[in-house]
């Protein structure tokens, strides 16, 4: 089987697995404990915070560890809304955010907040002027992702940050960086980002660790209360082995970014050119998207049918983001881009990683052609 679902989960680095195992065995003490073993675990945690901060160009006290980007996004959106509700109860976000941002905003809406969901263009990119035009005096937060997890569309964060701050300098800017980090440059200062979310398992780290950058001077209403871990921002005993291993993956992700791009960009370009040449397909990713995601639709059948056929042919792909793939509904992202229901139901996402080669792409292309042929026969049989 060839694995083409790196945007959903990545194989952990060998160093990550080894670090996890070693620390689980040796440093099981609670980092909040005052004895020596606890202080040793706390030192490992502090070192991991420094490593993540350095990779993001941030200070260690601006880094908070969570259970994943879902929690980081929930904390960024709801924590900011609750903390700053004295300033207003309006949020601006986009129609293409990950459910952990989108549904956090909807939940706030049900509690009385107003949310403006800005639409993307047909390539899946939002217009910075459109975001800024939605910002009001009572807008406490703008949340825009770096790279869309379904199409790979890259959002113009620098322009968004500049225009948002010009429209209201008190409005906080949150970026869901999950699909961008390690693929594209992360420039928190240039974007004027106040909050930034990451997930370790998209970076060849372990599952169950998220990072939330919280710029100095910004405070969030804690969603988890209890102990005073994470500077009081997130209660609960820290998962030291997974956090130390995640810091390793974050450092390696930043260091390997250019080599990774050099390796997979030509593969993605070749695959995009191939897909564009198959008349049965609609390509939903553009050439200037992130280097690891290619999304297309085969409107004749549901995406799940194509994905299953490809699996029979030895290719593991997904239909959209893993978090939404069990929904038998058209993709919210593709509908927002103006695609019709058949295209929005027929989506397939192929996401690349550093293990892929030119020969793998050739095998995938053959499998795609075979799948179309096989599904055409199924379609004809139905007539």
The residues that are catalytic are 323
Q: Is 322 in the site for ligand PMP (CB under 6 A)?
A: yes
Residue 361: strand, helix, or coil: helix
Q: Is 100 in the site for ligand PMP (CB under 6 A)?
A: yes
Of the listed pieces 69-77, 129-137, 229-237, 277-285, which binds ligand PMP according to CB under 6 A? 69-77
Q: Is 157 in the site for ligand PMP (CB under 6 A)?
A: no
Q: Is 56 in the site for ligand PMP (CB under 6 A)?
A: no
Instruction: Please report, for residues 176, 199, 260, 269, the alpha-carbon distance to residue 253 in angstroms, rounded to integers and kept in the order given.
Output: 17, 12, 9, 22
- Choose which of 68, 206, 291, 303 interacts with ligand PMP (CB under 6 A): 68
- End-to-end Cα, the chain, rounded Å: 33
- The token pair at 269 is 């370009």
Classify residue 3 by its DSSP letter: E
Q: Is 321 in the site for ligand PMP (CB under 6 A)?
A: yes
Distance CA 295, CA 353 (A): 15
Distance CA 101, CA 320 (A): 17
Q: Closest distance between ligand PMP and the C-beta of residue 242, in Å?
A: 12
Q: What are phi and psi of 187, to 5 degrees?
A: -125, 70
Q: Is 149 in the site for ligand PMP (CB under 6 A)?
A: yes
Q: Is 69 in the site for ligand PMP (CB under 6 A)?
A: yes
Q: Is 323 in the site for ligand PMP (CB under 6 A)?
A: yes
Of the listed pieces 26-34, 83-91, 171-179, 266-274, which binds ligand PMP according to CB under 6 A? 171-179
Distance CA 172, CA 154 (A): 20
Classify residue 155 by its DSSP letter: P
Other C-beta atoms within 10 Å of 294: how many?
28
Of the listed pieces 43-51, 172-180, 263-271, 299-307, which binds ligand PMP according to CB under 6 A? 172-180
Q: Is 186 in the site for ligand PMP (CB under 6 A)?
A: no
Query: Which residue ranges make up the site for ligand PMP (CB under 6 A)?
Result: 68-70, 73, 98, 100, 145, 149, 176, 178-179, 199, 210, 321-323
């Amino acid at each position: 089987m060839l694995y083409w679902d790196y945007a959903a989960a990545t194989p952990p680095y060998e160093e990550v697995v080894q670090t996890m195992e070693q620390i689980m065995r040796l440093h099981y003490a609670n980092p909040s404990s005052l004895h020596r073993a606890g202080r040793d675990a706390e030192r490992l945690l502090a070192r991991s915070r420094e490593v993540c901060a350095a990779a993001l160009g941030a200070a260690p006290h601006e880094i908070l560890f969570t259970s994943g980007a879902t929690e980081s996004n929930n904390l960024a959106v709801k924590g900011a809304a609750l903390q700053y509700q004295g300033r207003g109860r309006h949020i601006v976000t986009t129609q293409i955010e990950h459910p952990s941002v989108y549904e956090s905003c909807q939940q706030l809406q049900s509690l009385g907040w107003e949310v403006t969901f800005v639409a993307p263009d047909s390539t899946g990119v939002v217009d910075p002027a459109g975001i800024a035009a939605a910002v009001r005096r009572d807008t406490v937060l703008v949340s825009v992702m770096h790279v869309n997890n379904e199409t790979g569309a890259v959002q113009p964060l620098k322009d968004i940050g500049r225009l948002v701050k010009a429209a209201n300098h008190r409005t906080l800017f949150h970026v869901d960086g999950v699909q961008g980090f390690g693929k594209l440059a992360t420039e928190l200062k240039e974007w004027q980002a106040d909050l930034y979310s990451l997930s370790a398992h998209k970076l060849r780290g372990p599952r169950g660790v998220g990072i939330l950058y919280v710029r100095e001077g910004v405070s969030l209403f804690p969603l988890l209360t209890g102990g005073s871990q994470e500077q009081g921002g997130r209660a609960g005993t820290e998962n030291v082995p997974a956090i130390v291993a995640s810091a390793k993956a974050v450092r390696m992700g930043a260091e390997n970014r250019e080599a990774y791009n050099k390796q997979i960009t030509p593969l993605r370009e070749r695959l995009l050119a191939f897909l564009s040449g198959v008349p049965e397909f609609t390509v939903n990713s553009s050439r200037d998207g992130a280097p690891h995601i290619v999304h297309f639709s085969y409107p004749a059948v549901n995406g799940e049918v194509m994905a299953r056929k490809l699996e029979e042919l030895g290719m593991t792909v997904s239909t959209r983001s893993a978090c939404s793939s069990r929904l038998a509904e058209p993709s919210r992202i593709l509908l927002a881009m103006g695609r019709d229901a058949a295209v929005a139901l027929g989506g397939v996402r192929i996401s690349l990683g550093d293990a892929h080669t030119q020969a793998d792409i050739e095998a995938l292309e053959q499998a795609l052609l075979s799948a179309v042929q096989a599904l055409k026969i199924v379609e004809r049989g139905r007539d």
